[in-house]
Amino acid sequence: MTSDAATPAPHPPSPSRPPLRPTLRFTFSHPAHAIALGFGAGLAPVAPGTAGTLWGWVSFLMLQAWLPPAALGWVLLASLAVGWWACTVTARALRSFDPGNVVWDEIVAFWIVLWLLMPAGFAAQLAAFVLFRFFDAVKPGPVGWADRRFHGLGWGGGFGILFDDLVAAFCTLLVIAVWRFL
């Protein structure tokens, strides 16, 4: 990887091998990087997780227009497996356990929320977006536990990148279910 592909991050975990900050060139240098970085959504200078979730929302609505719910379920399942691989490869290349620019975890987790929520109007989708961003950013209770559970630059670390967002998706759906029940 050349210096054109990524630049050093401001807070390195190790002085000998600082983490890298991805660039557009880095993003499209490998299919795993493009996927993990949400095809560029993760390069947002502010709140890349929110940008990734927004990209997930828009892309889900586009997928939903073309695929029936059962096919979307298979796409979600494949996206989890591909995302695990992509997040693992990209985190290793960026030399970081959970790079903030990796947003595939937000994308696929929010796809799951929308897949289970639909059909729903804009207000319900917006509420799901706000709840999901709250759980993902603040990491209360089980989401914080999930965030601390798996770390490393190997396959377990790639799963860890996805795991806390899957728990955030579960918490989002739980709140929505309780809200609808009341």
Tracing tokens 């600082």 back to the chain, one arrives at 18
**What is the tens place of the pLDDT at every residue in 46-57?**
999 999 999 999
pLDDT at 20 over 90: no
- Residue 11 pLDDT class (50, 70, 90 cuts): very low
Tokens of 17: 């091998």
In a domain, 3, yes or no: no
In a domain, 39, yes or no: no
In a domain, 158, yes or no: yes
Tokens of 68: 């029936």
**Which pLDDT does position 52 carry in this prediction?**
98
DSSP state of 21: E
In a domain, 111, yes or no: yes
Identify which of 106, 114, 125, 113 has the alpha carbon closest to the alpha carbon of residue 163. Answer: 106
Q: What is the 3-state secondary structure (H, E, C) of 81-123?
A: HHHHHHHHHHHHHHCCCCCCCCCHHHHHHHHHHHHHHCCCCHH
**Over residues 136-163, mean pLDDT:** 85
Domain extent at residue 105: 19-28+46-181
**Tally of domains in the chain:** 1
Distance between CA atoms of 132 and 126, rounded to whole angstroms? Answer: 10
pLDDT at 155 over 80: no
Please, what's the b/e burial string for 123-133 (b: 16 or more CB within 10 A of its CB; e: otherwise)?
A: ebbebbbebbb
- Residue 150 pLDDT class (50, 70, 90 cuts): confident
Kind of pairing between the strands at 20-22 and 6-8: antiparallel
- Residue 153 pLDDT class (50, 70, 90 cuts): low
